[in-house]
Amino acid sequence: MNIFSITMTLVSPPYDDGPKNLVFGIAKRLKKHNFFFVSFLFKKFKVEDNIKFIGSPFQNSPSLRMSVMQQVYIFFVILLNLRRIEVFQFFFTPKEYFARFFKIMLEKANKRSVQVISSTHSLYAGTNKTNIKDLFFSDSVIALSDFSKQRLESDGVGNVVRIYPGVDLDRFDKRRIKNDFFVKDRIPGVKYIIYPGAYRVLNLSYSFKDLVSIILEVKKVFGNVKFVLACKVREKKDSFLEKEFKETARQFGVDKEIHYLNIVDDMPALLNSCDMVILPSYKHLFGILELPLVLLEASALEKPVIYTAASPLDELRDAGIGVGLKDSSCQSYANTIIDLLKDKNKSDNIGFTSKSAIIKNFNLEKMSAEFDAVYNSLR
């Protein structure tokens, strides 16, 4: 089958952010299908026999937003390729005008389509709840959690399939990772704890002050700990938020305890070089995959991950992944971090159990097979 996979921002292989890593990873595994992606016009990528890139001249930065000209370009690209494409796959939060346009176009062309919803929290936050059903026009809708599947179905959305996101177990295999990310800066005996999110996510779902408070509380007990903030700075707003966070850390006197990264070229090496991963939130995470891929990737490397077990993250907890906290206060997070730093056996056991859960339910091979079943159902 010829499948055109459309993401909110341009695909930039070999590795990018969560949604694009997933769809590109699936494409590389399903060799019997041909996949088409929109990417950067002047960048060259490793050629895969079953993957074709369509270059766009209208977006040359990794912005999280699709410009108006880029949207128009996407529409024209789809129209030009309408005859040869059998399935259109949309992996971003739908908008009303978008749904209306594609519903009419695909029906007239008698084409099949799939909508993948990365987060129902982001979906519901950005639209009128009474219009949810109208945003869906595809033959199949893929939700990334049982929570989202049930939520969509309760609002009248049909043909919903739940497929958990999966980790590339070849790439996130600690036996194959040779690089120490902190080889130039590593301090002997120091434990590295990473927050691998985004400043905008942290600001919306938790708070700068409370993450700094976690750092402060942990440092009171363990002096040999370094916190790593791996937060991509894509836009001016990200840069502004980074400055705001640094000022908050300075005011609390912990700015020297933090290692800042706004570009990460080797995520497996970074996660493997750390001792623990935290992703605190008081409420649902907005603007990222509802089951954050980075938590799954760290778990595949047997790193203990700590997060708030609000739906659908409670599905990770129930599967045996990391430590899902009911109490999301900064003191609760600090106590959990301290407990795992004190008890290496407990920390190691959590890592081992988490990896077993990834191998069983959250691997890219399983995810690819389940996507393939959806594609085949559309023949």
Q: For each of the domains in the chain, give its residue range(s) and CATH number, in order of start.
A: 2-166+363-377 (3.40.50.2000), 191-361 (3.40.50.2000)
Q: Do 352 and 302 touch, CB atoms closer than 8 A?
A: yes
Give me the pLDDT at residue 179, please.
74
Taking phi over 0 as left and psi of -120 to 50 as alpha, with beta for the rest, 253 belongs to: left
**Confidence check: pLDDT of 126 > 80:** no
Q: Parallel, antiparallel, or unpaired for β 323-325 and 258-261?
A: unpaired
Q: Which of 31-35, 58-62, 81-85 has the largest mean confidence?
A: 31-35
Distances (CA, A) of 177 to 180, 262, 308: 8, 21, 29
**Confidence check: pLDDT of 182 > 70:** yes
CB atoms within 10 A of CB 221: 13
For 127-178, the pLDDT digits (tens) are 776 689 999 999 999 999 999 999 999 999 999 999 999 999 999 999 988 7
pLDDT band for position 72 (cuts 50, 70, 90): confident
| 42 against 256, higher pLDDT | 256
Q: How far is the C-alpha of 18 from the C-alpha of 210, rounded, in Å?
A: 26
Residue 367, classed as helix, strand or coil, is helix
Q: How far is the C-alpha of 337 from the C-alpha of 322, rounded, in Å?
A: 12
Q: How far is the C-alpha of 24 from the C-alpha of 51, rounded, in Å?
A: 9
Q: Which residues contact 349 (CB under 8 A, 6 or more apart)?
A: none
Give me the pLDDT at residue 285, please.
86
Give me the pLDDT at residue 63, please.
61
**Confidence check: pLDDT of 194 > 70:** yes
For 265-298, the pLDDT digits (tens) are 889 999 999 999 999 999 888 878 999 999 999 9
For residue 296, which amino acid is it? L
Give me the pLDDT at residue 183, please.
59
DSSP per-residue letters across 203-268: HHHS-HHHHHHHHHHHHHH-SSEEEEEE----SHHHHHHHHHHHHHHHHHT-GGGEEEES--S-HH
